[in-house]
């Protein structure tokens, strides 16, 4: 017959190991909340490859050129000014939010849109911007590069935007977003 006795120091050591393992598991669980979602209400946010980025835009009905106009590294500001608050309002309207990515580096992929209503014959005027973080879309917009242009969420419009003649009105429709391009 074998007798096994456990001293209180072994129990304390086992308790410390269990508590440490739980603490490490909790840290991993908390760290995962910062990861971008890969699917948002049936919309795939995957954007690791060119095919996934184009497929993302096509989910909304956009026809874009395969080659991007620009790829730039941007830093989401740690603190949002009024322009970024407005831009984040566009993101929130499409169930995205840039606030969890404040202070982080992302990539902005810009594509030429070929099928915006009313602009089909004006190549290069309408662009799609995708903000990508760790292979997933975290934000973006569809915009006009005209002087009195516009900026909107990814939703495909049912008709062309109305022309604005009042600069005060167009400034509320136009959202200027300044990004920092990293060297």
- Cα separations (Å) of 14 from 5, 19, 21, 26, 168? 14, 9, 11, 18, 69
Residue 24 lies in a domain: no
14 assigned to some structural domain? no
Domain of 115, in residue numbers: 39-181
Determine, yes or no, domain membership for 73: yes
Q: Domain for residue 154, yes or no? A: yes
Count: domains in the chain: 1
Average pLDDT per block of 10 residues along the chain, 183 residues long = 65 60 59 45 86 96 96 96 96 96 97 94 95 97 94 88 45 39 41
| Pick from 56, 183, 182: nearest CA to 129 | 56
132 found inside a domain = yes
Q: Which pLDDT score is estimated for 40?
A: 45
Q: Which tokens belong to 155?
A: 């939703």
Residue 10 in any domain: the answer is no
- Which two three-digit tokens encode residue 169? 């009105």
Residue 34 lies in a domain: no
Domain-embedded: residue 69: yes
What integer pLDDT is reported at residue 141 of this predicted model? Answer: 97
What is the enclosing helix (H) or strand (E) of 75? strand 70-75
Secondary element (H or E) of residue 143? strand 136-144
């Amino acid at each position: 017959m074998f007798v096994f006795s456990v001293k209180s120091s072994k129990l304390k050591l086992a308790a410390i190991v269990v508590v440490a393992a739980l603490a490490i598991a909790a840290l991993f669980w908390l760290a995962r909340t910062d990861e971008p979602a890969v699917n948002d209400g049936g919309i795939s946010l995957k954007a690791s490859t060119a095919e996934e980025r184009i497929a993302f835009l096509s989910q909304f009905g956009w026809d874009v050129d395969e080659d991007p106009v620009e790829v730039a590294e941007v830093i989401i500001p740690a603190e949002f000014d009024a322009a970024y608050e407005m831009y984040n309002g566009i993101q929130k309207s499409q169930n995205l939010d840039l606030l969890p990515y404040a202070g982080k580096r992302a990539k902005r992929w810009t594509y030429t849109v070929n099928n915006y209503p009313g602009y089909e014959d004006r190549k290069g005027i309408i662009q799609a911007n995708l903000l990508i973080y760790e292979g997933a879309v975290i934000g973006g917009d569809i915009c006009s590069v005209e002087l009195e242009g516009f900026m909107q969420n990814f939703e495909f419009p049912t008709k062309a935007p109305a022309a604005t003649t009042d600069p005060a009105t167009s400034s509320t429709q136009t959202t200027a977003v300044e990004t920092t391009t990293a060297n």
